[in-house]
Amino acid sequence: MKEISCTNQNPDQGEDMLLKTRIFELCKEEYKNLYELAQVMKVSVIHLDEVHRSKRSINQKFIIGTMRAFPEYNIGDLFYFTS
C-alpha cells in the first residue's frame, strides 16, 4: 500500500503543511475506546496511538479506515492541514 506524505510543500508560502485528523475528538462520541475504533478502521491500536501522538504519518490505510469508521462525515470534516 502506498504511503501518503503528510507534508506538502505550500508553493505560496514555501513552508511544509502537515495533515492532521479530528477523529480523536469524534471517537469519544461514537466509540467506547481506541481499541473499538481501531477494529472498525482495521488498523492497530498502536497505529492510532502513534498518529495521535504525531509519531506516525497518516497514510492511505488510515484515511480509508477513518472514512469507514465515520461514514457520516466528509473528508474535510475529518482531516485538515496545519503548518
Helix (H) or strand (E) holding 80: strand 79-82
Residue-range domains of the chain with CATH: 7-82 (1.10.260)
Predicted TM-score (pTM) of the model is 0.77
Phi-psi region of 34 (alpha: psi -120 to 50; beta: other; left: phi over 0): alpha
pLDDT at position 13 is 55
Share of the chain above pLDDT 90, in %: 72
pLDDT at position 66 is 98
Residues 32-69 have pLDDT tens digits of 999 999 999 999 999 999 999 999 999 999 999 999 99
